[in-house]
Amino acid sequence: MTEPEKTVTEAARQKVIRQRNVATALVLGAFVVLFFAITIAKMQ
């Protein structure tokens, strides 16, 4: 494998990892909001 191909592959891998991290953060944030809403609903 030549150097440019390795760089392109590495860049693509980093992009996939970043997208996965963003998706995980969004799901975690949705759970936080859900638990907050449930807690507020139970208090009333």
Domain count, the chain: 1
pLDDT along the chain (44 residues), means of 10: 70 95 98 97 91
Q: Which domain holds residue 38?
A: 1-44
Secondary structure string (H, E, C) spanning the chain: CCHHHHHHHHHHHHHHHHHHHHHHHHHHHHHHHHHHHHHHHHHC
pLDDT of residue 8: 76
